[in-house]
């Protein structure tokens, strides 16, 4: 399977931030996710993780997302997800 490198963009909205994920989430994703969360959390409001263009996710990618969610919970910040494919819905359920 060909690996698609993770690309992250951040958009700021009137109600918070959107972290757009494109590509595969794996063990190399953690630093980029941490940096994206740090940037997105500079404004008040909900952080939305947009998985519309995300590719494959392995157990280390799931762990990276869980780490981001734990950090948000500790900081009292709401996080939601959008653009979940059937695969991602199954992973998160």
Q: What is the pLDDT of residues 42-57, one digit of tens each?
A: 999 999 999 999 998 9
Contact 51, 88 (CB under 8 A): yes
Per-residue confidence at 31, pLDDT binned at 50, 70, 90? Answer: very high
Which of 42, 47, 36, 31 lies closest to 8 in space, CA to CA?
A: 36
Torsion angle in degrees (nearest 10) through CA of 88, 93, 30, 20: 50
pLDDT for residue 37: 97
Contacts of 64 (CB under 8 A, 6+ apart): 25, 27, 29, 30, 33
Per-residue confidence at 92, pLDDT binned at 50, 70, 90? Answer: confident
- pTM, two decimal places: 0.91
Q: Does the pLDDT at position 9 exceed 90?
A: yes
pLDDT for residue 2: 66
Alpha helix positions (H), 1-93: 30-40, 59-74, 86-92
* Average pLDDT taken over every residue of the chain: 92
Per-residue confidence at 35, pLDDT binned at 50, 70, 90? Answer: very high
Distance between CA 36 and CA 81 in Å, rounded? 15
């Amino acid at each position: 399977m060909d690996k698609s490198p993770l690309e992250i963009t951040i958009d700021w909205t009137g109600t918070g931030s959107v972290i757009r994920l494109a590509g595969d989430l794996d063990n190399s994703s953690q630093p980029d996710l941490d940096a994206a969360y740090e940037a997105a959390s500079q404004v008040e409001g909900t952080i939305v993780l947009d998985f519309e263009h995300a590719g494959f996710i392995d157990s280390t990618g799931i762990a990276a997302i869980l780490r981001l969610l734990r950090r948000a919970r500790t900081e009292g910040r709401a996080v939601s997800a959008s653009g979940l494919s059937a695969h991602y819905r199954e992973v998160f359920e």
